[in-house]
Chains A and B, each alone.
Chain A
Amino acid sequence: DTAVSQTPKYLVTQMGNDKSIKCEQNLGHDTMYWYKQDSKKFLKIMFSYNNKELIINETVPNRFSPKSPDKAHLNLHINSLELGDSAVYFCASSQVFLAGDQDTQYFGPGTRLTVL
């Protein structure tokens, strides 16, 4: 069974559109994350959610709105897509929120978003 899954795997869309990426984890973890990996391969954290509540927002434009309907899901909705949003988006989860021994992060396979 896949621990952290994302859909879709590929997403191609036009500038200005609104799109969503879904993430689900079956590990029973409390914390979920979204990361963005740009064309230069730098991987940066965007959001952290703990028990369905937003904990960290790393200065991401408000066009990006994460939504956590329950602890197992964290979806990413993006409004008014721009060319610069093209990247690979990774979802991750960890058992607990605090850093240290208990919060190893497990990543999903990624969603490659291409904005034309």
Chain B
Amino acid sequence: DAKTTQPTSMDCAEGRAANLPCNHSTISGNEYVYWYRQIHSQGPQYIIHGLKNNETNEMASLIITEDRKSSTLILPHATLRDTAVYYCIVRKIYGGSQGNLIFGKGTKLSVKP
């Protein structure tokens, strides 16, 4: 079962920042926060991941609270092509089935003109 809670859906205006929240209140010290997205009729796409520090790459920024119980994915300038389902996933840093990606329902982000 997914160990994260995300809003079912969100809207964002094109060109504005999209802030997608995720609660993971039961996260343990050896678990990373991963974000993937799935654009309609495509395979999931990796976005970013982090352990406890904030992270930024060419796609997005990940802000993790100090207690690590929640995080926010930020798309700084959302475009229509960012319309997708965004999955926040918590996974252990070991191997085996404990390290499986477990996808929940995600947040359906709709970017509007």
Q: How far is the CB of B58 from chain A (nearest CB, A)?
A: 14
Contacts A99-B91, A99-B92 given; indicate if A105 touches B46 (C-beta within 8 A): yes
B42 touches A109 (CB 8 A): yes
Residues of A with C-beta under 8 A to B91: 99
- Where chain B touches its partner, the secondary structure class is loop
Q: Which one, A37-45, A66-74, A75-83, is touching chain B?
A: A37-45
- Where chain A touches its partner, the secondary structure class is loop
Contacts A56-B97, A99-B92 given; indicate if A90 touches B103 (C-beta within 8 A): no
A107 touches B44 (CB 8 A): yes
A-B contact count (CB 8 A): 60
Q: How far is the CA of A90 from the CA of B101 in the complex (A)?
A: 13
User: Taking beta carbons and an 8 Å cutoff, which residues of B are in contact with A?
Assistant: 32, 38, 41-46, 49, 85, 91-103, 105
> What 20 new A-B contacts, CB under 8 Å, besides A45-B101, A98-B93?
A41-B85, A42-B103, A42-B105, A43-B44, A43-B103, A55-B96, A56-B96, A58-B97, A58-B100, A90-B43, A97-B95, A98-B99, A99-B32, A99-B94, A99-B99, A100-B94, A104-B49, A106-B46, A107-B45, A110-B41
Complex A-B, nearest 5 residue pairs according to Cβ-Cβ distance, in ascending order: A99-B99, A107-B43, A100-B93, A98-B95, A43-B103
